[in-house]
Amino acid sequence: MLEERTESKPQESKETLVLVIASIAAPLLFGAVIWGASQFLSSPQAKPLPIAKPTISATPATPGIALRTLQAKSLRIGILGSQEKYQSLVNYLHAQFGEQVQIVLDGNEEISYPDAKSKISRHDWDIAFTLSPMLSVAAKDNGYTFGARMFPKFEPYYESALFVRQESPIQSLTDLKPTTKMALGDFNSASSFYMPIYDLFGKTLRIDMGHRSSEIQNMVEDGRADIGAGALSFIQDKPAFRVIHVSRKIPGSGVYFSPSLSASDRATIQNVLLSAPQEIQDGANYGKGQEVDYTSFVSISRKVEDLLACANFSSSVIQLFCGTSEQLSISPVVQEGQPIIGRVNGFSYPSPDMLTLTLSGQDGKTYRVAMQRTLLNTIPDAPPPPGLNGKTVQIMGVTPRSQNHVLELQVTAAEQFKIVQNP
């Protein structure tokens, strides 16, 4: 028994020693584990990945609405300026409507007023940035509805200016003579044609027309023209020029929506446009505002057309007044339904709402073409009445009727009247 105790004592001591060591080592080991874990978790490799944030478009959709819906599957935006300036607007519309709607930008700074007017009359443009009050009136005549103002940071009305070189001897309108060379814009331009002609009534001048604003300025500056016309804001701060006359107020232009769009689509598009970030609206030159009143401007433009009814713009020297009116010849009635082709040799207004054209037919007969004044704006490629002089047109589906010994063609629809030659 004693030996057994003696033999067992070293074993008990070893076990006791192991327990003592374990009791001492355990806290140390546990502390080491805790320290190691803390070091591991604090290392850069062990940091959790940040939560990815959604990419925000440069042109985000309206807050609270993911995508707007339209009945239309495409939107064609008509412009008369640089496409680059409208690209942010296009991107914004893409963000608003998504891939469900195709956005097409149509036009640029090179498109002519007649081409733009034709696109409006054919309803090619769903959204028309008219730029010109002449095109705004054309849009209204073609059933377009107002959506926004163009150039909202400026006054809703502007002026046209007649200008010369600084060193020019011309001081006022009284100095203009039949030898004076004048540069004008297109028939559809308010500031470089209609308003200047209105103020130049009674004059005889050498007129070179059909030019853009920049080209008119170049012609005056390099001496190809003695006097030019254009928007006052483009002229007044240029030291090379001197303004000799300022016109009456001209109404501004607007953004118009095609009647081809549904009423709900027009309302949605208007809301989207006017909710765009300010920098997008500034880039495309539009914004909130009331539609201007075109009544007075239309009255002036019609008076201009009245006085130009007998002006011959194919001549180098043009009289800006009317002399004796040409009598229409009397001819027998032609076969019913036969198309009539002829050259326009003048126009007049028998009443405030009616327009008549004098047409020299290829059949040797002379006709009087009668239509509503507003109908002309709905005919593709048709310029205002002064621009029709000298053009060849075709009248279809209209039977000539003898009215007071004159052959009259009553045009009641746009498809009955076609420009077949644009010299």
Q: Residue 414 sits in a domain of what CATH number?
A: 2.40.50.140
pLDDT digits (tens, 9 = 90+) for 331-379: 333 444 578 998 898 888 888 889 999 888 888 788 899 999 899 999 9
Is the pLDDT at 326 greater than 60, yes or no?
no
Same structural domain, 82 and 195: no
Mean pLDDT of the region 241-266: 96
Burial class (CB in 10 A: 0-12, 13-18, 19+), 331: middle
Same structural domain, 258 and 125: yes
Same structural domain, 173 and 192: yes
How far, in Å, CA of 111 to CA of 81, rounded?
Answer: 8
DSSP assignments along 306-335, one per residue: HHTTT--TTSSEEESS--SPPPPPP-----
Share of the chain above pLDDT 70, in %: 79
Is the pLDDT at 175 greater than 50, yes or no?
yes
Is the pLDDT at 422 greater than 80, yes or no?
no
The structural domain count of the chain equals 3
Same structural domain, 110 and 190: no
Q: Give the range of the structural domain holding residue 287, as residue numbers without chain letter.
A: 74-155+252-292
| 198 located within any domain | yes
Taking each helix axis as running N to C, give the angle between helix 133-141 and helix 295-307, from 0 to 180 degrees, rounded to the nearest 10. Answer: 100
pLDDT of residue 347: 84
Same structural domain, 201 and 125: no
Same structural domain, 115 and 194: no
Selection from 32-41, 196-205, 359-368 with the highest mean pLDDT: 196-205
Give the closest residue to 227 by CA, choosing from 267, 278, 174: 174
How much is the pTM? 0.64
Cα distances (Å, whole numbers) of residue 235 to 151, 170, 238: 18, 17, 6
pLDDT of residue 25: 47
| 145 located within any domain | yes
Same structural domain, 164 and 245: yes
pLDDT of residue 385: 85
How far, in Å, CA of 81 to CA of 204, rounded?
Answer: 34
| 116 located within any domain | yes
